[in-house]
Structure 1
Amino acid sequence: MKILKKILIVLVVIIALPLIVALFVKKDYTVQKEIVINKPKQEVFDYIKYLKNQDNYSKWNSIDPYMKKSYSGTDGTVGFVARWESDNDEVGWGEQEIKAINEGERLDFELRFLKPFEATEPAFMTTESIAYNQTKVTWGFNGHMNYPTNIWLLFMDFEKMIGDDLQSGLSKLKIELEK
């Protein structure tokens, strides 16, 4: 009986410890990357505000060139939605919607992932003039993990996972706009 009691206590500790730790782990994370493009700010913004142009630079669009895409609304305006469906789990199914545009400055969109997992996360792109012919573009992604799944933030490096893909996309964007 004493051994059974000790095993039960150990199991309770094993289960309770991560739940207790998760109480003190942040629930939100932000990843953002930037690049300087040798083009005027308005020209850069006029390109990135069209979600269809992401086909030319987004890492995720290049992973599955055969994904099904559909659109609703007018691209480059608030309310435009771009949907995708891919059998590749790295891409999955989802959509993004333009939520706000601060003309020439900032594009806010919402990513809604449907498969292989469900999540809704805000993302953004900004442009900042460095010089007449130089624009800093920042691409950012905000995420949230509810308790107790936020414990995974201790083990997952979102800066690496998402940041590398954002930086890859920004590098392609630079090549695309400077050619």
Structure 2
Amino acid sequence: MKILKNMAIIIVIIIAVPLIGALFTAKDVSVVREITIDRPHHEVYDYTKYLKNQDSYSKWALMDPDMQKEYRGTDGEVGFVASWKSENPDVGAGEQEILSIQEGERIDYALRFFEPFESNDKAFMEFESINENQTLVRWGYDGHMAYPMNAMLWVMDMEAMVGDDFQTGLENLKNILEKN
């Protein structure tokens, strides 16, 4: 009987510690990466504003060339939606929508993931002219993990996971644009 009581106490502690810890853990995650592209601002922006072009440089789009893709609306305009569905669990299913555009400066996106988990987050791209032939591009993500799922942030380095993928995408974008 004493063994069962001790096991029950241990199980309660194992369950309670992460739940209590999650109360004091951040729920919001922000990640930003940037790169300088040796092309004029208007060329970089004019290419990047089209969401379909992410298929050529985004790490996630390149992970499964056989994923199903659907598009709604007019690309490069507010309200355009690009959706995907992949058998690759690292890609999953979801959609990205252009929420707002500050012409030549910033594009805001809604990211809605359906599989392998559900999530509604935000992303953006910013563009800054450094000089006549160089453009700084920032790609950022703002996510939220509700309690108690935010306890996963103890073991998941979102800054590295998402940031490294953004950096790969930005390097791909740089390679594409600097070839032309």
TM-score interval (norm. to shorter): over 0.9
- Hey, what's the Cα distance between the residues in 2 that align with 1:5 and 1:69? 54
How far 1:3 moved relative to its partner?
4.0
Aligned length: 179
Matched residue, 1:143: 143
Verify: 1:178 aligned to 2:178, yes or no.
Answer: yes
- Hey, what's the Cα distance between the residues in 2 that align with 1:69 and 1:12? 45
Given the two structures, how large is their TM-score scaled by the length of structure 1?
A: 0.95
Amino acid paired to 1:32: V
Matched residue, 1:156: 156
Matched residue, 2:28: 28
**Per the alignment, in what secondary structure is the counterpart of residue 25 of structure 1?**
coil
Verify: 1:46 aligned to 2:46, yes or no.
Answer: yes
Unaligned residue ranges in structure 2 (runs of 5+) = none
1:1-179 to 2 correspondences below 5 Å: 1-179=1-179
Unaligned residue ranges in structure 1 (runs of 5+) = none
Identity among equivalent positions (%) equals 60
**Per the alignment, in what secondary structure is the counterpart of residue 109 of structure 2?**
strand
How far 1:102 moved relative to its partner?
0.4
Name segments (4+ residues, structure 1) moved above 4 Å.
none
How far 1:76 moved relative to its partner?
0.2
Q: Deviations over 1:38-71 (max 9, x none)?
A: 1121221111110011111111111111111111
- Hey, what's the Cα distance between the residues in 1 that align with 2:70 and 2:141? 23
- Hey, what's the Cα distance between the residues in 2 that align with 1:70 and 1:2? 60
How far 1:124 moved relative to its partner?
0.4
**Per the alignment, in what secondary structure is the counterpart of residue 65 of structure 2?**
coil
Amino acid paired to 1:149: M
**Per the alignment, in what secondary structure is the counterpart of residue 64 of structure 1?**
coil
Amino acid paired to 1:157: D
Q: CA RMSD in A?
A: 1.2
